Structures are given as structure tokens and as C-alpha cells.
């Protein structure tokens, strides 16, 4: 199975189990798969998915256009400088623009094309296809798009500290056990660190 297919199966299991979550986000490997995006819509899963600049979208004029062409037509006033989350070196500031797409939609839902432009290199633009409640604010789309950095940093930390990717297994049950133990250990260490930062840790009594 491909990564998007695996993602769909995992999300479906979570939905069927009643696991609460607000948004789904992912990189171009997931965003450029139209079948996955349509399935997410059918299950009512709000999402912000990165897509390549050549991604075809349906404009509000019911024309098929490439993502970069739609964004290129926007006036300078359409861009807003927004912090999409704090990183190791401070706020992650980018210029963002959002435009409505796909006018034929279900009542109460919205479809948008979101663009993120580098401040230092205006030619560096990332694109996202978004779906969610019609009253979703642009700042919320930016927040979800920016959350990927925190997730990736979490994965990197877990790889370094609890060996998330240090396995040599062939079967799914063995892989699942390793990943579960690694993530549980990471959660435990996170709680210890937060407690140490707040000064809430109590000495372990001697036995």
C-alpha cells in the first residue's frame, strides 16, 4: 500500500473508533492525491494539504487552473504577514494569501487555495488545498499548515531520544509494538521535562 492509502486506513480506523481530532495536514505526497482529498471530504475531515505549484484547481469562475497561476493573479494587498508558529529561532513569519476555489460545494463547507511566501525570497511559494467549515478564518488555515513543523520536530526528537526509527523488523505486529513503546517512552519523557521546568517533580521515595 502507498503512504496515502495507509494514511486513509489509519484515519478511517480513528474515525470509526470515535477518536476526536480537528484537522488533517500533510505534505505533497498526500496533497496531490485527489482520491485521498475526496475521501476526506466524504468523511467530513477538515484538512490543509500541501500540493505542487502545478496542481490543477477549479477557480470560482469554474475554470481549471494551476495553483501558481491562481495565486499569481492576486493583488499585493491579498498577502498578510502571519506567524505560523514558534520555532527554535523564534516566530516563523511568512506572507500568506488565501483564495476561494470550487464554487460548487456542500452547504456549510468551504474550499480554499492557501499560499505561503518566503519573506527573504518572494519566489519561494508553497501551496495548499484546504477544506473545512465555511466560517474558517484564514488564520486557522495558517495555524494548521504551520503545525506540520511541530509534528516533524516531535518525530525527530523521538527518533533521537527513544529510537522511533531504530528497528529491524519485517512484520507489522513487531513494528507496531516498537512504535508504541517508543511513543509511550517519548510521552513519559515529555511529562518529566514539563514537570522539571515547572518545578513540580517530587523525589522518588527510597524502597
Q: Is residue 153 part of a domain?
A: no
Q: Which DSSP category does 104 fall into?
A: S
Alpha carbon distance 47, 126 (integer Å):
16
**Are both 35 and 79 inside the same structural domain?**
yes
**Are both 21 and 95 inside the same structural domain?**
yes
Q: Is residue 83 part of a domain?
A: yes
pLDDT tens figures, 127-139:
999 999 999 999 9
**Are both 130 and 167 inside the same structural domain?**
no
Where in the sequence is the domain holding 183, given as residue range(s)? 163-198
Residue 27 has pLDDT above 70, yes or no: yes
For the whole model, what pTM was predicted?
0.83
In contact, 158 and 164? CB cutoff 8 Å: yes
- Kindly report the backbone phi and psi dihedral angles of residue 75, in degrees, each rounded to the nearest multiple of 5, phi listed first: -70, 165
**Are both 175 and 138 inside the same structural domain?**
no
**Are both 81 and 138 inside the same structural domain?**
yes
**Are both 17 and 96 inside the same structural domain?**
yes
Who's near 34: CB < 8 A, 6+ residues apart? none
State how many domains the chain has: 2
Question: Where a domain ends, among 145, 174, 190?
Answer: 145
What mean pLDDT comes out for the span 77-85?
93
Q: How many C-alpha atoms does 51 have within 13 Å on its Cβ side? A: 25
pLDDT tens figures, 84-121:
887 767 788 999 999 999 998 889 999 999 999 999 99
Residue 204 has pLDDT above 70, yes or no: no
**Are both 187 and 137 inside the same structural domain?**
no
Q: Is residue 203 part of a domain?
A: no
Closest CA to 63 of 97, 35, 104: 104
Q: What is the pLDDT of residue 89?
A: 74
Q: Is residue 157 part of a domain?
A: no
Q: What is the pLDDT of residue 183?
A: 92
Q: What is the pLDDT of residue 116?
A: 97
In contact, 142 and 127? CB cutoff 8 Å: no
Question: Which of the two residues, 44 and 171, has the higher pLDDT score?
Answer: 44
Alpha carbon distance 80, 134 (integer Å):
20
* Size (the chain), residues: 207
pLDDT tens figures, 144-202:
999 988 888 888 889 999 999 998 888 888 988 999 999 999 999 988 888 887 776 56
Question: Where a domain ends, among 145, 171, 189?
Answer: 145
Q: What is the pLDDT of residue 200?
A: 64
**Are both 177 and 124 inside the same structural domain?**
no
Residue 55 CA from chain centroid, whole number: 18
Q: Is residue 151 part of a domain?
A: no
**Are both 178 and 134 inside the same structural domain?**
no
Q: Is residue 78 part of a domain?
A: yes
Torsion angle of the four alpha carbons 14, 18, 22, 23, in this order, in degrees rounded to the nearest 10: 20
Q: Residue 192: enclosing H or E segment and its boundaries?
A: helix 172-198
Q: Residue 177: enclosing H or E segment and its boundaries?
A: helix 172-198
Q: Is residue 150 part of a domain?
A: no
**Hey, what's the cell of 188?**
513519559
**Hey, what's the cell of 50?**
500541501
Q: Is residue 30 part of a domain?
A: yes
**Are both 91 and 123 inside the same structural domain?**
yes
In contact, 37 and 112? CB cutoff 8 Å: no
**Are both 48 and 15 inside the same structural domain?**
yes
**Are both 17 and 108 inside the same structural domain?**
yes
DSSP per-residue letters across 141-171: HHHHHHHHHHHHHHHHHHHHHH-TT-----S
Residue 207 has pLDDT above 60, yes or no: no
Amino acid at each position: 500500500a502507498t503512504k496515502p492509502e495507509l494514511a486513509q486506513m489509519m484515519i478511517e480506523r480513528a474515525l470509526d473508533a470515535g477518536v476526536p481530532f480537528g484537522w488533517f495536514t500533510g505534505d505533497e505526497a498526500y496533497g496531490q492525491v485527489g482520491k485521498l482529498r475526496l475521501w476526506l471530504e466524504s468523511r467530513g475531515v477538515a484538512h490543509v494539504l500541501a500540493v505542487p505549484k502545478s496542481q490543477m484547481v477549479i477557480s470560482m469562475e469554474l475554470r481549471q487552473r494551476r495553483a501558481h497561476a491562481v495565486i499569481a493573479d492576486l493583488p499585493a494587498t491579498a498577502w498578510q504577514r502571519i506567524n505560523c508558529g514558534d520555532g527554535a529561532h523564534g516566530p516563523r513569519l511568512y506572507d500568506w494569501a488565501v483564495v476561494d476555489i470550487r464554487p460548487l460545494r456542500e452547504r456549510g463547507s468551504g474550499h480554499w487555495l492557501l499560499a505561503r511566501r518566503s519573506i527573504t525570497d518572494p519566489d519561494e511559494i508553497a501551496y495548499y488545498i484546504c477544506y473545512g467549515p465555511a466560517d474558517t478564518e484564514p488564520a486557522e488555515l495558517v495555524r494548521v499548515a504551520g503545525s506540520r513543523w511541530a509534528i516533524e520536530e516531535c518525530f525527530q526528537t523521538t527518533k533521537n531520544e527513544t529510537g522511533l526509527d531504530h528497528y529491524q523488523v519485517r512484520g507489522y505486529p513487531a513494528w507496531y509494538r516498537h512504535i508504541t513503546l517508543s511513543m509511550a517512552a517519548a510521552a513519559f519523557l515529555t511529562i518529566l521535562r514539563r514537570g522539571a521546568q515547572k518545578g513540580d517533580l517530587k523525589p522518588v521515595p527510597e524502597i
